[in-house]
Amino acid sequence: MKKYFFVWILLMCSQWMFGQTKQAVQPPKLVVGIVIDQMRWDYLYRYQDLYGADGFNRLKREGFSCENTLVPYVPTYTAPGHTSIYTGSVPAINGIVGNDWYDAVSGKNMYCTQDTSVSTVGSNSSQGKMSPNNLLVTTVTDELRLSNNFQNKVIGISLKDRGAILPAGHAANAAYWFDATVGKWISSTYYQQQLPDWMVAYNNQNWVDKYMQQDWNTLLPIEKYTQSTADNKVYEGKLEGEDSPTFPHKLSLITKSKYEVFKFTPFAATYTFNTAKEIIKNEKMGAGKFTDMLTVSISSTDYMGHTFGPNSIEAQDTYLRLDRDIADFLKYLDATIGKGKYLLFLTADHAGAHVPGFLEEHNIPGGNYSSSQIFKQLKEELATTLDLKNAVIKIQNNQVYLDENVIAKSGKSRETIVAAIIQFLQKQPMIAYAFATENIANTSIPATIKNRLINGYNPKRSGQIGFVALPGYIGMGKTGTTHGAWNPYDAHIPLLWFGTHIKPGSTHREVYMTDIAPTLSALLNIQMPSGSIGKVIEELIK
């Protein structure tokens, strides 16, 4: 009798446990993906003493941090980054090999989201002639739509068209981006024939004009910015209309191109988050039967970083203000969707290099080079040594694009021409490696770098010859910074998970940007995207 009683107890406990498990895995009402454009991983810790308790520090304290998250391809740019986050794939598969690339079929440059078959919605400019049509695979947002027969909502928001469109995917209900010619949010006829009434009303409040009436001064007394260089450095850029890269930035005095300048200020992040709230409220996201998803990309951090660099007071102030924006947004989600009822991740599309002038100031290796100058010299070299003109079309994404028709008609061996170009590039003091892109696998390059080059190479959209610069060298002018390389300063990004299903913790195991989409798919019990090669971050699932 005791034996049967014991079995009965086990059965009852099992039923209770399974019931609890079923209740615990209820899907989130809303998923929010936040991408901070050009955010270096070390910003999580570099400024943490001045962060508040409810922004980045809350995400770390109550969420799960993947401390060693890397971008697994080159070039590390905005469009490939956003694409790889949401597809779980790499440019070799998803086709987004850069923000731009040369299209051999049309003989023209191709912008990642350009689409002349659609029209702008929300303004009379051409800034809305955009769609995800150049993206060759599905996104996790597409798969979420497919999982419920398109009964949920997916919407993207970003200052940059590519930051809104590529994450939202092919099947999104809407995507909105900023048109700096009019200072308003716009979209394209790919999604809808006109803006919703609530967005028209929101645009008509002229928020950007109101933001630009206030000057940008430091949030805290400037002497507290001890993690930054002095305010006035020759290697910092200037906002258009200003004479120096110093605080306060007199935004109220800028009249020409003020909407363009707005993108470089931290107020643009506040504006983006406030618009995200409006989307949630007016589209009733998180209120339906199925999980909705909102993708938010903060672009102002990238514009600022390119201008002032990661060691500027502007950078530190931008992130201190961003921390408050995130805290406010989390508070909004708590109140609107409910604590524990939404799932959020925060990451970056790439990071950013130190300004070479700053490195030089501290005796650290690095420098600048000019792709346009290399292009000019290469053309001269081919004309002199091989009597060959117009064989090189352009240098883009650290790749040389060749005119195969010119080469075929020249009567010269293609192998000889390619070898001459590689030899020329290898002679440049700032270039570490040069190679034929179709032959990367057989090139004598360290395996880690080689794998990232292979992942970034798409034979129909990449150049025929590639090169890798020495660490610390960037291809731009003397002020500000850029990104694009395999090195940790460009490829080590934050990854924080928060909300439904997520228990506090962290891992220092190496994971990749491409692991985000399959992990999210596992958390939502949906199919992973069609080109996904990422792995589930099992620490989040267990």
464 — phi, psi (to 5°)? Answer: -85, -20
Q: Are strands 342-347 and 30-36 parallel, antiparallel or unpaired?
A: parallel
**Cα 282 from Cα 173, distance rounded (Å):** 13
Known active-site residue 78:
yes
Alpha-carbon distance values, 366 to 76, 361, 363, 475 (Å): 18, 11, 9, 11
**Cα 218 from Cα 321, distance rounded (Å):** 9
**Cα 504 from Cα 540, distance rounded (Å):** 10
End-to-end alpha-carbon separation of the chain, Å? 38
Alpha-carbon distance values, 248 to 218, 252, 317 (Å): 7, 11, 12
Catalytic, out of 69, 78, 218, 347: 78
Question: Which DSSP symbol is given to 511?
Answer: E
SS3 content of the chain, % helix, strand, coil (to 5): 40, 15, 45
The helix/strand/coil state of 110 is: strand
Q: At what angle do helices 300-308 and 313-336 cross, to 10 degrees?
A: 170
Catalytic center residues: 78
